[in-house]
Amino acid sequence: MEKTGFIYIWYDRKRKMYYIGCHLGTEDDGYICSNNRMRDAYRRRPNDFKRKILHRKLTKENIFEQEHKWLQLIPDDQLGKKYYNLRKHKWGHWSTDINSSLTIKQKLSEASKKLHQDPIYREKFLEGRKKLPPQTKEQIEKRARSNTGKKLSEETKRKISEATKGKICGPLSKEHKEKLSKALSGKNNPFYGKQHDPEKKKEMNEKTSRTMKGKIPKNIDMFKGSIWWNNGTINKRSKECPGHEWNKGMI
């Protein structure tokens, strides 16, 4: 059921002053007003005040519109004198702000998303990332330990699915492939000069076998009859020699 409210007017018989306001809630929930001066006076001498309801059953969408219409009836020279009201412009309200119900974490997330849509900020952000020192082995191991055993919740899986649904991830253009190749060739490759130890290779092989469960990959014919070649910097698998500077075998 949608929450409703009302427009009210208070009368202070001692000072002969009025106050017009609105409230989202019930008429008997104890709400007085948002004006500090009138509220303090009411707390000291509640018997001097009497309230009258001007308009009932107003929704959150139109209650402030109706309040504004009543406030416009107050002459400017009576603000703060005959009326406790000091202004009569149209007020916003925290309850109409869709961000008011968000947690601090959600607000920071929304602000960050909006900021990263700015091309100038994104360029500066990426430049700053390039200047960061490489992570140490201890940092990488610590992050790996912190993520060990963690599983995505069904809600997170659903959000990832919805965010990626309909997006096309390939095929890559020739220019994109060349750019990736250049970025990951030679010493730029994080695995440059490294090799898996025999135990790790065995573990990877067993894991792949369990994952595939006897299935034959669709691209199995891609490497049938091919061998490894290297140019002294990178390895490449091909049925024929890629060029005169390439030699058989891996580095």
pLDDT tens column, 92-137: 554 445 565 667 878 788 888 888 888 888 888 878 877 778 888 8
Class of 4-96 per CATH?
alpha beta
The tally of CA atoms less than 13 A away on the side-chain side of residue 180 is: 6
Strand partners, 230: 235, 247
More confident residue, 158 or 213: 158
pLDDT, tens digit, for every residue of 188-210?
888 888 888 888 888 888 877 77
Q: What is the spatial distance between Cα 214 and Cα 163, in angstroms, rounded to a whole number?
A: 32
Tell me which of 143 and 49 has the higher pLDDT.
49
Between CA 17 and CA 39 the distance in angstroms is 13
Residue spans per domain, the chain: 4-96, 213-248
